[in-house]
Amino acid sequence: MDRWQRRTAYYLTVLSALVFGFTFAYDWGMTNVDGRPRTFLHSLQIVVETFTTTGFGSDAPWNTPFMNVLIIVMDTVGTVMIFLALPVFLFPAMEEILSTTVPTAVENGQSGHVVIATYSPRADSLIDELHRRDVEYIIVEPDRERATTLYENDYEVIHAEPDSVAGLEGANITDARALVADVSDELDTSIVLTARELSEDVRVVSVVEDPDSTRYHELAGADVALSPRPLLGERLAQVISTGVTTELGDGIEVGEDFDIAELLVQHGSPLAGARLADSRLREELGINVIGAWFRGEFQTPVDPETVLEPGTVLLVTGQHDQLEALEELPEAAVRELRRGETLVIGYGHVGQTATAALAEADQPYTVLDQHDVPGVDVVGEASDESALHEIGIEDARSVILAVPDDTEAEFATLVMRDLNPDLNIAARTEEEESVQKMYRAGANYVLSLAQVTGRMTASAVLEDEQVISMDAGVNVRRTAAPGLAGQTLAEADVRTQTGCTVVAIERNGDLLTELGPDFRVVDGDKLLVAGTADAVDRFETLLG
């Protein structure tokens, strides 16, 4: 029963009780007080006439104060009930007439689209990718008000239940490219089962909340069961424990001995405060910097004069052994990192995965959570100064902030930064819009669950796309570039023209990674280019 139906039922119940209550009172008063007996039906007629103001006074004048007071009260209540009927009946009816009508099915003939069940902030990253690749989508949204809002904001949406046969038929699931289920573990499995009832061929991607439920999503028939929360924990632990992460997403196969990695500039590192040109990463290790995140904003290419502040994240490419040497290059940073424990604040799925990764890396840690459960060392709120003092915030080197509430995380970051200005803070947020606020509050490295989920989903749906960084929409793509044949990389000036970086070239089955400015592209070469989604598209348009 929707809100309008509930209000109508309440109103009619109260109105009926008042009408019959006043009828009994009027009938009793006329018989026992006024001395003029009336039938019950006549008394009911008088009350209805009074409530509707269609006529009254046929029994006037009344001979006693009791009856006159009763009539006054009855007149007042009747008028009030008339005015209350306006918001209950008239206003909703007018709103229904004037409101936007959301379709309940897609147009006939639509195919090759992605069905998204249902809308969440995590869907926006996926929708952005679909727009960029000219792939149509349709959101199946059961909430009428939300569906209307989405429709008025130019989203492709239908109002239907995503776990019903009628709802998925309305989305034309049988001709769809893929289905993405991202509501809850229970509802997602129901959606997957319904989809499999209608089509065995459509690709089904299901987002898992509790990693322990992954098997049930697969049993229901999901082709891909994504579990973004453990990925967040692993990434946060990796960047805190080493400052280097090469595990930038499933399915990244650049070469057998060639990788793409993120390097976090730690407090105390020789890189902190230095210009990129002075880092000598290429000269000493053969590592190329293809981009960088500055307070969450990605830039590529990076100006060599740019100063690398603590918290800057470099996106680099190189051979396995070269990337492994990154941990040994900033020796002072490594020594600093080993001094002091890592604090894990928040012991949900993200926090538990982070502690497991820290334990595997043999990194000491202490856990703070508001619930006293096994694995928690100190019980308290993330922003409680006494609890933070108890876990040793002043002597800690790093914090993994894994609380699920963004507002609490922002305030806790301010408190921790005040208590320990040199702290390395790696944090997760729920919403994408909270990332910049976390950086302003003092976090060094922030991952958004919405961004990570959206990017993982995009990678699973767009099977031909390799997503490098789950939190920033950076892509790597193999592509032919006949427009560059015969030119050296210096002559082509790819970065200036497109904003992309050529990270490797595939020639006759070999992957060439030593690419100097004099390297000449020949016909038949396949280039591996990295950059933002728009930059990669620009490369293919201009040079592909």
Q: Residue 206 above 90 pLDDT? A: yes
Q: Residue 387 above 80 pLDDT? A: yes
Q: Residue 174 above 70 pLDDT? A: yes
- State whether residue 360 is helix, strand or coil: helix
- For the chain, residues classed under CATH 3.30.70.1450 are 473-543
Q: Which of 97-106, 129-138, 410-419, 500-509 has the lowest mean pLDDT?
A: 97-106
pLDDT of res. 77:
87
**How many Cβ atoms sit within 10 Å of the Cβ of residue 106?**
22
- Report how far apart, in Å, the C-alpha atoms of 26 and of each of 37, 43, 54 are: 10, 6, 18
pLDDT of res. 35:
85
- Can you name the CATH fold of 3-98? Helix Hairpins (1.10.287)
Residue 332 binned pLDDT confidence (cut-offs 50, 70, 90) = very low
Q: What is the pLDDT of residues 99-151, one digit of tens each?
A: 568 899 998 778 899 999 989 878 888 898 788 778 999 999 999 889 999 99
What is the model's pTM?
0.65
> Burial letters for 273-301: b for 16+ Cβ neighbours within 10 Å, e otherwise?
ebebeebebeeebebbbbbbbbbbebebb
Q: Residue 253 above 50 pLDDT? A: no
CATH match for 114-226 among 3.40.50.720, 3.30.950.10, 3.90.550.10, 3.40.50.300: 3.40.50.720
The proportion of the chain whose per-residue pLDDT surpasses 90, expressed as a percent, equals 31
- For the chain, residues classed under CATH 3.40.50.720 are 114-226, 228-467
CATH superfamily of 473-543: Regulator of K+ conductance, C-terminal domain (3.30.70.1450)
Q: Determine the straight-line distance between the first and last CA of the chain, rounded to whole angstroms.
A: 57
Mean pLDDT (the chain) is 83
CATH superfamily of 228-467: NAD(P)-binding Rossmann-like Domain (3.40.50.720)
Please state, in angstroms and rounded to a whole number, the distance separating the CA atoms of residues 197 and 182: 19
The proportion of the chain whose per-residue pLDDT surpasses 70, expressed as a percent, equals 87
Amino acid at 230: P
pLDDT of res. 407:
96
Q: Residue 2 above 70 pLDDT? A: no
- For the chain, residues classed under CATH 1.10.287.70 are 3-98
Please state, in angstroms and rounded to a whole number, the distance separating the CA atoms of residues 254 and 258: 6
Token duo for residue 502? 């050529």
Peptide bond connecting 498 to the previous residue in cis, omega within 30 degrees of 0: no
**How many Cβ atoms sit within 10 Å of the Cβ of residue 87?**
11
Residue 326 binned pLDDT confidence (cut-offs 50, 70, 90) = low
Q: If you average pLDDT over residues 277-297, what whole number do you get?
A: 77
Of residues 97 and 431, more confidence is placed in 431
Of residues 344 and 501, more confidence is placed in 344
Residue 492 binned pLDDT confidence (cut-offs 50, 70, 90) = confident
